[in-house]
Each structure stands twice: as structure tokens, then as C-alpha cells.
Amino acid sequence: MSIVHRILRLAPMIGLLALLIGCAAPTGQASQPVVGAEVPDFTLPALSGETLRLSELQGHVVIINFWASWCQPCVNETPRLVSWYEQHHDAGLQVIGVDTLYQDSRESVETFANEYKISYPVLVDEVGDISRQWQARQLPRSYVVDREGVLRFVRIGELTERDFEQQVRPLLEQSAGS
């Protein structure tokens, strides 16, 4: 039997094997956040020792802020985040700081959180899985999520007062049911 005939004889089995391997292969990374779509859920440990799951915050307007203690723009915006959280928490604002611990140290994060009197939850992404999923390569990177869990705004760089007034405040003014 010639080599061509052998290949033709094996082709259906090779095709079936390729199909089976393709079906068993992982489907890739978890979904990435997209403005106008529901955000992907995640669970991360907090500095406090508790664990926070993003979906538990549905019903709140959420600012998810990826940061690191060595990042100067992160240092600059932290007092604003603390102020917004303290002033608007009762209106339904939740701020979550996600430190990219895989690029930082726990001691630096704890010192930073204490020095800047961060009153909102500080989560730690120890291996960077969530930071990669959320494409938080440049820091700071912030995501504004509405009460229904839909991503409404992304800022690479410092969140500003203007961002708050134009992107966050209107979401806070909408009632949870509308």
C-alpha cells in the first residue's frame, strides 16, 4: 500500500481525534470587562482577612480601582477615592481597591492603606489573574459599574473630579429600581 493510500485511510481517524481534542480543550480566559455589558465576577481576599465577591455588591454603584503602592498616580488619586467613598457610601457608592500584589508587597500595601486612611475594602490580587482578566496593565485603572452590574466607564490613569461628576454621580442619582 502506498503512503498516499495510508494517509487517506488514516485521515478520518485523525480528523475525529482532532475534533475530540478540540472539544476537550479549555475555552480560554474568563471574559474581559466590556463597556455596556455585565462585568465578569471575581472573588479576592481583602487585607482585613475577609473575602469579597464582586457580585455581592450588585445594587451599588461600584468603582473598582486597580492600583499599587509604588504608583505615583495611584498615590495622587487615593485621597479622592477615600473622600468619595466616605461622602457617598450612604447613597450607594462602593469603592474597591484592588492592589496588584503580584507586583507589590503586602507590607507596602498595609502601610499605604494605613497612611492614606483607606476606609473602603482593599483587595489583593496575589497572582495577577484578576488584573490580567480586567486588563489592568497600566495603573491606576478604574472601572465604574452601575447598580445592575453593567460596566459604564473605564479610566486609565487617575480618576478626576470631572470623571466623578460626569460618570459616577448620575449613576448614584438613579434609584436602584430604575
pLDDT of residue 6: 52
- Domain at 70, CATH number: 3.40.30.10
89 in Cβ contact with 60 (< 8 Å): no
Instruction: Confirm whether 135 is domain-assigned.
Output: yes
Instruction: Confirm whether 91 is domain-assigned.
Output: yes
Residue span of the structural domain in which 144 resides: 31-173
Query: pLDDT exceeding 90 applies to what percent of the chain?
Result: 76
What are 76-92's pLDDT values in tens digits? 999 999 999 999 999 99
Instruction: Confirm whether 19 is domain-assigned.
Output: no
**pLDDT tier at 103 (50, 70, 90 boundaries)?**
confident
More confident residue, 157 or 8: 157
What are 17-46's pLDDT values in tens digits? 343 333 333 334 468 899 999 999 999 999
Instruction: Confirm whether 88 is domain-assigned.
Output: yes
Q: What's the whole-number mean pLDDT along residues 135-162? A: 96
Instruction: Confirm whether 148 is domain-assigned.
Output: yes
Instruction: Confirm whether 1 is domain-assigned.
Output: no
Instruction: Confirm whether 137 is domain-assigned.
Output: yes
- Rounded Cα distance between 131 and 99, Å, is 9
- What mean pLDDT, rounded, does the chain reach? 87
pTM of the model: 0.81
Instruction: Confirm whether 48 is domain-assigned.
Output: yes
**Strand locations in the chain, DSSP E?**
43-45, 51-53, 61-67, 93-99, 122-124, 141-145, 151-156
What are 158-171's pLDDT values in tens digits? 999 999 999 999 99
More confident residue, 159 or 137: 159
SS3 2: coil
Number of separate domains in the chain: 1
Question: What contacts 124, CB < 8 A, 6 or more positions away?
Answer: 44, 45, 46, 47, 98, 99, 101, 106, 109
